[in-house]
Structure 1
Amino acid sequence: MNPTRRLISAGFDDLERAKRFLAAEELSGVNLKELVGNLANAADPDLALLSLVRLIPHAPAAVALVENPRTAPGLLRVLGASDALAGFMIREPGALAVFEQVPDARIQGCAAGDLREQLLLAVGADPESAAAPVAALSGPAGYRALRVAYRRALLSLAHRDLGAANALDAMPVVGRELADLAAAAIEAALAISRVEAAERFAAEDVAAVRLAVIGMGKCGARELNYVSDVDVIYVHASDGLDEQTASGIAAVLGAGISRAIDSTGPEPGLWEVDANLRPEGKDGALSRTLESHAAYYKRWAASWEFQALLKARAIAGDAALGAEYEAMAAPLIWSSSERAGFVESVQGMRRRVTANIKPEELSRQLKLGPGGLRDVEFTVQLLQLVHGRVDESLRVRTTTTAIGALSQAGYIGRDDAESFDGSYRFLRVLEHRIQLVNLRRTHLMPQRESGQRVLARGVRSMLGVELASAAKLLERWGETKREVRKLHERIFYRPLLSTSANLSRDEVRLSPEAAQARLRALGYVDPKAAMRHIDALTGGVRRRAALQRQLLPVLLGWIAEGVDPDAGLLGFRRLSESLGESHWYLGMLRDSNAAAERLCKILSNSRFITDLLEVSPESTAWLGSDKDLQPLSFEALWAEISSKLKRNLGTDPAIRLIRVIRRREMLRIALADGAEVIDQDGVGRALADNDRAAVLGTLRVAQNLEHETTEPLCDVLVVAMGRQGGREIGYCSDADVMFVQRPIAGADPQAAQEQALRIVTSLGSFLAKPMTPAIQAEPRLEVDAKLRPEGQSGPLVRSFDAYQEYYKRWAHVWERQALLRAAPMAGSDELAEDFMAMVDEVRYGEPIGEEQVREIRRIKARVEAERLPRGADPARHLKLGRGSLSDVEWLVQLIQLQHAATIPELRTTSTRPALHAVAEAGIIPAEDVQTLDHAWALATRIRSAGVICTGRVTDVLPHAWRDMEAVARWCGYSPGEAAVMEDDYLKATRRARQVFERHFYAFED
């Protein structure tokens, strides 16, 4: 192989520079062929060669190391992985002795006691000194001795880490030794600090102060990074000193520790000692007594502080005092999940961490971003805190150990635990390799491909040689992030909650009290009742019970995310009892997380849907497919109804069938709405089509019944009015209609009128009367004909000629306004065509005059004064309140009456398309139109959500917190944002009212 090919094969990036270095005088006595072969072991051969050439003049012993086939790979691996450690060896050539020992393929950790002894001896302290070793060295000499000894130990660890056969297996050992090394450094720094404190205070007073250093975060958990702030808390005690003096000495000792470790000097500082996790943070005393710590945590601490205490461990100083601190903190940690809003606060903290990432760094974050280390850590810590109160097996600090404990106890499935553990190790190893380069605190994936390629080569021991490329590394990282995020979202609030919900009967069983504690922590108000439901679902040995035991850990968490988890769990139990033996149901729960999550959230947020599902449980199958959730078109619905009516079922069975189909389709629409498969406009159109098909089918049944005894004398037409005509109705809306008839040629007009009246009366009765047997949970459809000419004083049905004559001679402006929403709904197509042609002449004919404008304004004022329920708050009424549906619709309709004659785009029965046409025509400013549209859409959404969530028809913005919260979530707001929705609605309608008043009352021709 020629030299260039050999360099390429070894992984060199800059071939010309590599050739120059290989020809350098420093390598004159080195076998270059073997050197290049050994450089292939380095993550960055270019860096390794450069560092070697720099190192040899300062440390000639390096030549012997690279000539020795046993020691060369280890030295070159370190030189190619860390420019910072190469610099240290240049400053301290004696550190090369580390490489004389060839590490085992399976990494062996150094004992914490040995590290402590090494660093204490380095600063001249006696490791055997009782509780407070004192250093012989202090000041810059002591600092340098400490830092050199630390970096020598760090070099040894990096040598063993980089030489490990499997980096994933080595990661916990590396993190543990890094934490122990940091603890040893703090112990040595404390010894130095005591010498320095004795220069300010009496030596016997300094000796009387016992100081314990509590490691927090990754140091406390013994899973530290190569470079990280070391979070600490100081606790002190003293014998015979007043508290002010003792506190002052303890503060000086703490400050001295930081100075010894991180102040500037010939040998650079190691890392920052961060005491900001102490009570009151930067504003609090640097050190407190044990009693002061206890008082703070019991009275003032926030939830996040208990999450931080989960990792607390005495790492240096007075061991007995440190043990007392741990004993004080433990009961506070494991009872913290009982605090009000604890789970929500942990979830909110995770969201804030993600939200605070710089946008330009989000895609490169190994630690804080979605699918990063924090997702694993927050998930594991929450499960530990929620369940560790009653399950002592979870009371461990290290993340990988905690994952194993959670899996062993059944809170995480074995496959999920294995994936979580592997992903966490992978991300931590990437973090370690990135930090090793310059020994700087960073958690960002390199931006340049060359840096990514070096990182990929540095983790070959876990990726495999075939994956050691930038593209393969990024692919693996992307897969890991997606897997971590998926597991995080699935597990974060979803622990196994009771004995009956264990994955198997053979696994560890917890007491009912423990299970109830978990349920309570998740938000169940009545854990005892929840336990009864769980026991009913999971009891027995049948396949259904076994599957429920596996699925409930996830399902209970999803149900708990709703507004009423207790009602959701009851609904789930009833549904499962109806469908538990159905193969598709079990398969959906097992195989479709999306369907199961949709079901759980709907059950705990919507009484309306829960009631409908209870009587139509088979409809649950739609949740597994967006296609199945798509509402059926009017044509498809009518095809189904008409085909079944051809079977001559009889009147009652036919009506029952039509109403069952309508209920079924309303349920489909509601489920699609909850799953966000359709938007609010789609909901209105789908509900209108559903009602239209039901009315058409019922009309056909009524006509067939009439024609059994009397020959057909007339054609009948049902005309949709109001929101029904605009195809923008909500759940359980009435159907505003008018009835039209036209005698068949040769029929007696009076007899035709009487027959039409019988038919439309039957239609209304069929849709409204109770069925025998009853159709449970049926949303009734009431037909309302009050918008007909002369209102309730006029005949229920008129002939086509009578309508034509009335509108020509007698119609009031409000009746012309009502016709703006008129649309054929059911009946004769020919009659519909003729009637709508006549209606168009009325509603879109001559623009209304000023007198008619004043009449519309007068009527609107009367509606506001008389129709708003007594005592109702106009600011909260969704239909008739200020800036709500009525204001927007009246303004739109006034504009249509004035301009539709000349602007065809305004000839629509729907509000939002009409608003769009108003903006396009420039009749009112676009920003005003946007204000009106937003208020109308929000009021419509809230109105429909009120029915869905509470099961009651109401036109008022809810007052009760639970109802408001449920409506807010249905409207797309995040949990806890009921007040935000309320404020949004009040703002939107207030602005819409201003627009309404500006244009409705000031509008001129």
Structure 2
Amino acid sequence: MTTVPGRRSSTFTRLLRHGFTDPSAAERLLDLPELSSVRSDPVLLEALGATADPDLALQGLARLVEAEEADERRVLLDTLVTAKPLRDRLLGVLGASEALGDHLARHPRDWQALVTYEATDLHPGVAEFEQGLAGADDPDSLRVAYRRCLLAIAARDVCGTTDVAEAAAELADLATATLRAALAIARTAAPADAARCRLAVIAMGKCGGHELNYVSDVDVIFVAEPIEGFEESAAVQAATRLAAHMMRICSDTTVEGTIWPVDANLRPEGRNGPLVRTLSSHLAYYQRWAKTWEFQALLKARPVAGDPELGAEYVDAVSPLVWQAADRENFVPDVQKMRRRVVDNIPADRIDREIKLGPGGLRDVEFAVQLLQLVHGRSDATLRSGTTLSALRALAAGGYVGRVDAAQLDDAYRFLRAMEHRIQLYRLRRTHLVPEDAPGLRRLGRSLGMRTDPITELNQAWKRHASVVRRLHEKLFYRPLLDAVAQLAPGESRLSAKAAVHRLEALGYADPAAALRHLEALSSGVSRKAAIQRTLLPVLLGWFADSADPDAGLLGFRKVSDALGKTPWYLRLLRDEGAAAENLARVLSAGRLAPDLLLRAPEAVALLGDPQGLKPRTREHLEQEVLAAVGRADGAESAVAAVRGVRRRELFRTTAADLIGSYGTEENPAEEDPGALVDRVGSAVTDLNAVTIAGALRAAVREQWGDTLPTRFAVIGMGRFGGHELGYGSDADVLFVHSPREGVDEQEAGRAANAVVAEMRRLLQLPTVDPPLIIDADLRPEGKSGPLVRTLASYEAYYRRWSLVWESQALLRAEPVAGDAELGREFIESIDTLRYPMEGLGEDAVREIRRLKARMESERLPRGADPTLHTKLGRGGLSDVEWTVQLMQMQHGWVEPGLRTTRTREALAAARAAELISGEDAQTLDEAWVLATRVRNAVMLVRGRPGDTFPSGPRELTAVGRYLGYEPGHVGDMLDDYRRITRRARAVVEERFYGA
């Protein structure tokens, strides 16, 4: 076939569309006479394109058809066209496994093992695999038969006929059948040895757990007994020869490759110990000398080959020892040390690619599950499974692991195992390292069903699942310690106070002795309250330990429990409502603001157990409650005290929802969109402050004028208040406007308006332990020098004659928040032409806005503040984003209705929709604005007082990081990410605002 130089053929284009990365090479293969039917068949080309690596699949198919005789080749190609199951299986394997492609090129008839597609073929067990290996009476024929069976397992796996757990179980069953076949060959070769002994092969590790990899050492232990009439020593020697021969059959490499190494190093004394022992010898070792890790390994012991009765006797004999292991001194620290040693021994250049042994890898799941099994399985036989996912399901069913945690671990474990399977399947090599090259990553991603952008999707999914595993491993790995500590009571000898202190210290408690005193105070005694506390504390301690300040969480819990201990509903709520206890733990250990609010009104704990309790209430609902409370009060001060009570409760509701939405719980996993959290907080705090001002206004009017003020009066929200973007520590920027009622003298109306403003401010500034609501009216005409209240006509006259460009800009966020609604609307109508000028902004006005912004940057940033970390005035911070958006609003708001909003994110989205800014630039600004807002909220939540930059203290900084989704120890990543995101935003500001 020839093409005009520089012009692509139609086949070339089709191959590109089907996912081939080297269409030219593929075209050359399709030019082969043997593959002529493939070129012209769209079904086959589409099937090749659906594989993990279409180029590899086509190469494998070309090698296979070349190896076939002409008649067989025709049958193969015809069958591929007509039989979809075979087509998907064979091409799927060829696209995922170069090694199995090699096998088919050497043994082309083996493709026929994939033809059968019946119920018995879908989930074969040991018996079916033994049939598949039947007739393999020498090592090489066994290797060929093994690969043929492996081919079928891989075909079901890559086609999705079996899931990853089923494929792993099939691999373990194939290993069992192979061990039996290899032992039979060894026995046939040495009949005299076979006659002297009973030999049982005990599978360990992943084979024993029914969760084997494609390429893995098969861990075994050998146990032997003499046949009657033979001495024990002679029987053990004979059994050793049989075992060694069996291992060589499986492990040796020939032209047909290898099956897999058989590893007996988990036996007593490891490689230094005898290969085969009698049952009594095994038991003597385990009872006297075995280390903790050896009992953990025995959890997966399963007889698979040889004498079945002896194998069962072995498992029955060692099982009680396994479930007594947790009683050993230093059991949990030994298990923890072993896991740490594994991580420490990973080479630095591999740790980020290691999906088995590295942090957030498969071994983290397995160790966490096994530790919980060994502790709780002493008294709960339902946990005694050697299979990780089965054990995890049992732990969740028994309440030892939260349902959401278990589901997330299950999902992550399956994903990581699927990655491991596909990596090993490619060349059938024992590896747990993610490829570094783009083709390898692309093939891996496509093999897992990722087709749009395989490499990016793979890395994102891998990072997400590894993060889940890392978090839950740390959480679950310590839970047995929590169980032991929580059941402590004074005078108990089951666990010494010294040991409890050490364990609390290991969990991250800075003052474990004080923590122990809190535990004893909460859980000692025989009362029902103490019994419920003993049930709650193990879980609560785990959640406290998952925070930046577990000591504060436990102390707060004790204070709340002391305050509510006599109420009948409190502990019952925590015990019976799944989310309530975890919600409380998150709130108490996340910082100062939320606990301070709760301790002033502990009954607000009830909000945490109600599924609807953390949803913000509407402004209308809150206003009705506040105004009703004012109406019932005896005087203005008691009215505002009632209003403050509502504000305190609702502020707690908002902070609790924010913390729980950021951290997530079993019942409510963390929200994925930080912008949604920011918007929810901004709207909730804005509504809350608006109704608080409305309540203070009603109280002030009632005190002096009854129901009617001599003048219509409205409060206009400005800045973040008007923008529905208030944070926990924000002031309430306002303007006060009034309009005399008909027949009322303007001076009298003015005196009334000023009096009501003064009274409102006095009432809201009365000393209180609640977070203050500071009213700031400095954005009014003439600033602090101008009158506090003006009539609507006065505002109109001032803005018409004297207003400066910054005042027009400030009015972009003006919105009525309290008082006379009709007057508020009139005020907004009067300023619309000012903030959205019909002719846009002239060059002089744009220069003035830029000059003001530059001056603010140079003069208002606090001395010594890091401009890369200041959320308000720093590089790429709130001011940068807001001024950029506001400039677009003033320039284009008159012709673009979507820009006429007081909300920054909404205006930015409208500018993007109107193509005033690119989608990428808008996303960059939005991300920076949301992050800076979240940091400000986090600082207030953590410290209990507002701040515009990250705290300097390590514990507070860690708490801010936890709120933002960073694990402990990663605050450096948080600061780096903040600088990176805001640096990108500043670059957009330089271009979009300053015109650089």
TM-score (norm 2): 0.60
AA aligned to 1:928 is D
- Please, which moves more after superposition, 562-571 or 260-269? 260-269
Alpha-carbon contact 2:209-2:386 (below 8 Å) kept: no
Aligned match for 2:863, one of 860, 863, 870:
870
AA aligned to 2:977 is D
Alignment pair present for 1:626 and 2:624:
no
Structure 1: how far apart are the matches of 2:639 and 2:631? 10
> 1:685 — aligned with what?
683
Within a 5 Å distance, the mapping from 1:145-164 to structure 2 comes to none
- Please, which moves more after superposition, 677-686 or 812-821? 677-686
Q: Which has the larger radius of gyration?
A: 1
Residue 792 of structure 1: how far off its partner (Å): 0.9
Aligned match for 1:694, one of 692, 702, 705:
692
Alignment pair present for 1:311 and 2:300:
no
Structure 2: how far apart are the matches of 1:599 and 1:88? 59
Structure 1: how far apart are the matches of 2:578 and 2:353? 26
Structure 2: how far apart are the matches of 1:658 and 1:494? 43
CA displacement 1:25-80 (0-9 Å, x = unmatched): xxxxxxxxxxxxxxxxxxxxxxxxxxxxxxxxxxxxxxxxxxxxxxxxxxxxx998
Aligned match for 1:674, one of 637, 651, 659:
659
AA aligned to 2:604 is S
CA displacement 1:880-916 (0-9 Å, x = unmatched): 0011100111111111122112222211111111111
Within a 5 Å distance, the mapping from 1:655-734 to structure 2 comes to 655-676=640-661, 679-707=677-705, 712-734=709-731
Residue 839 of structure 1: how far off its partner (Å): 1.5
Within a 5 Å distance, the mapping from 1:67-106 to structure 2 comes to 81-86=126-131, 90=135
What stretches of structure 1 of length at least 5 have no aligned partner? Answer: 1-77, 93-139, 148-170, 193-214, 235-253, 279-285, 290-304, 316-326, 359-366, 443-483
Alignment pair present for 1:921 and 2:908:
no
CA displacement 1:430-474 (0-9 Å, x = unmatched): x9xxx9xxxx999xxxxxxxxxxxxxxxxxxxxxxxxxxxxxxxx
Within a 5 Å distance, the mapping from 1:425-824 to structure 2 comes to 491-495=476-480, 497=482, 501-502=486-487, 509-676=494-661, 679-707=677-705, 712-771=709-768, 776=769, 778-824=770-816
Structure 1: how far apart are the matches of 2:141 and 2:887? 88
Secondary structure in 1 aligned to 2:881?
helix
Secondary structure in 1 aligned to 2:482?
coil
Alpha-carbon contact 1:530-1:566 (below 8 Å) kept: yes
Alpha-carbon contact 1:231-1:277 (below 8 Å) kept: no
Structure 1: how far apart are the matches of 2:688 and 2:703? 23
Residue 717 of structure 1: how far off its partner (Å): 1.5
Judged with a 3 Å threshold, the aligned counterparts in structure 2 of structure 1 residues 979 and 308 are, in CA distance, closer, same or farther, namely farther
Judged with a 3 Å threshold, the aligned counterparts in structure 2 of structure 1 residues 721 and 261 are, in CA distance, closer, same or farther, namely same
Structure 2: how far apart are the matches of 1:740 and 1:418? 55
- Please, which moves more after superposition, 516-525 or 625-634? 516-525
Secondary structure in 2 aligned to 1:826?
strand
> 2:936 — aligned with what?
943
Structure 1: how far apart are the matches of 2:786 and 2:751? 15
Residue 826 of structure 1: how far off its partner (Å): 1.2
Alpha-carbon contact 1:498-1:510 (below 8 Å) kept: no
Aligned match for 1:845, one of 831, 837, 842:
837
Aligned match for 1:379, one of 368, 374, 379:
368
Aligned match for 1:953, one of 929, 942, 946:
946
Judged with a 3 Å threshold, the aligned counterparts in structure 2 of structure 1 residues 780 and 584 are, in CA distance, closer, same or farther, namely same
Residue 144 of structure 1: how far off its partner (Å): 11
Secondary structure in 1 aligned to 2:612?
helix
Alignment pair present for 1:262 and 2:248:
no
Residue 540 of structure 1: how far off its partner (Å): 1.4
Within a 5 Å distance, the mapping from 1:381-400 to structure 2 comes to 381-383=370-372
CA displacement 1:245-265 (0-9 Å, x = unmatched): xxxxxxxxx999964651157
Structure 2: how far apart are the matches of 1:711 and 1:837? 25
Structure 1: how far apart are the matches of 2:779 and 2:904? 18
Residue 705 of structure 1: how far off its partner (Å): 1.8
Structure 2: how far apart are the matches of 1:812 and 1:308? 80
Secondary structure in 1 aligned to 2:790?
strand
AA aligned to 2:730 is S
AA aligned to 1:850 is E
Secondary structure in 2 aligned to 1:669?
helix
CA displacement 1:301-338 (0-9 Å, x = unmatched): xxxx997995399x9xxxxxxxxxxx9xx999864567
> 1:827 — aligned with what?
819
Structure 1: how far apart are the matches of 2:990 and 2:401? 61
Structure 2: how far apart are the matches of 1:258 and 1:583? 66
Aligned match for 2:888, one of 885, 890, 895:
895
Judged with a 3 Å threshold, the aligned counterparts in structure 2 of structure 1 residues 355 and 556 are, in CA distance, closer, same or farther, namely farther
Percent of aligned positions that are identical: 44
- Please, which moves more after superposition, 727-736 or 625-634? 625-634
Structure 2: how far apart are the matches of 1:967 and 1:516? 27
Structure 2: how far apart are the matches of 1:969 and 1:486? 12
> 2:120 — aligned with what?
none
Residue 90 of structure 1: how far off its partner (Å): 4.0
AA aligned to 2:853 is K
Alpha-carbon contact 2:924-2:985 (below 8 Å) kept: yes
- Please, which moves more after superposition, 595-604 or 607-616? 595-604
> 1:968 — aligned with what?
961
AA aligned to 1:840 is D
> 2:194 — aligned with what?
none
AA aligned to 2:127 is S
CA displacement 1:826-847 (0-9 Å, x = unmatched): 1112321221111213212342
Structure 2: how far apart are the matches of 1:887 and 1:227? 55
Structure 1: how far apart are the matches of 2:176 and 2:533? 44
Secondary structure in 2 aligned to 1:82?
helix
Residue 950 of structure 1: how far off its partner (Å): 2.3
> 1:103 — aligned with what?
none
Residue 584 of structure 1: how far off its partner (Å): 3.2
Structure 2: how far apart are the matches of 1:918 and 1:888? 13
Residue 938 of structure 1: how far off its partner (Å): 1.1
Structure 1: how far apart are the matches of 2:968 and 2:605? 25
Residue 275 of structure 1: how far off its partner (Å): 9.3
Secondary structure in 2 aligned to 1:825?
strand
Secondary structure in 1 aligned to 2:753?
helix
AA aligned to 1:554 is V
Judged with a 3 Å threshold, the aligned counterparts in structure 2 of structure 1 residues 916 and 741 are, in CA distance, closer, same or farther, namely same
- Please, which moves more after superposition, 636-645 or 953-962? 953-962
Residue 624 of structure 1: how far off its partner (Å): 2.2
Within a 5 Å distance, the mapping from 1:127-166 to structure 2 comes to none
AA aligned to 1:704 is R
> 2:852 — aligned with what?
859
Judged with a 3 Å threshold, the aligned counterparts in structure 2 of structure 1 residues 340 and 984 are, in CA distance, closer, same or farther, namely farther
Aligned match for 1:273, one of 262, 278, 291:
262
CA displacement 1:159-205 (0-9 Å, x = unmatched): xxxxxxxxxxxx9xx99x989x99x98xx99x99xxxxxxxxxxxxx
Alpha-carbon contact 1:178-1:223 (below 8 Å) kept: no
Judged with a 3 Å threshold, the aligned counterparts in structure 2 of structure 1 residues 79 and 549 are, in CA distance, closer, same or farther, namely closer
Judged with a 3 Å threshold, the aligned counterparts in structure 2 of structure 1 residues 219 and 897 are, in CA distance, closer, same or farther, namely closer
Alpha-carbon contact 2:574-2:581 (below 8 Å) kept: yes
Residue 713 of structure 1: how far off its partner (Å): 2.9
Structure 2: how far apart are the matches of 1:963 and 1:271? 52
- Please, which moves more after superposition, 992-1001 or 502-511? 502-511
> 1:162 — aligned with what?
none
Aligned match for 1:907, one of 900, 904, 912:
900
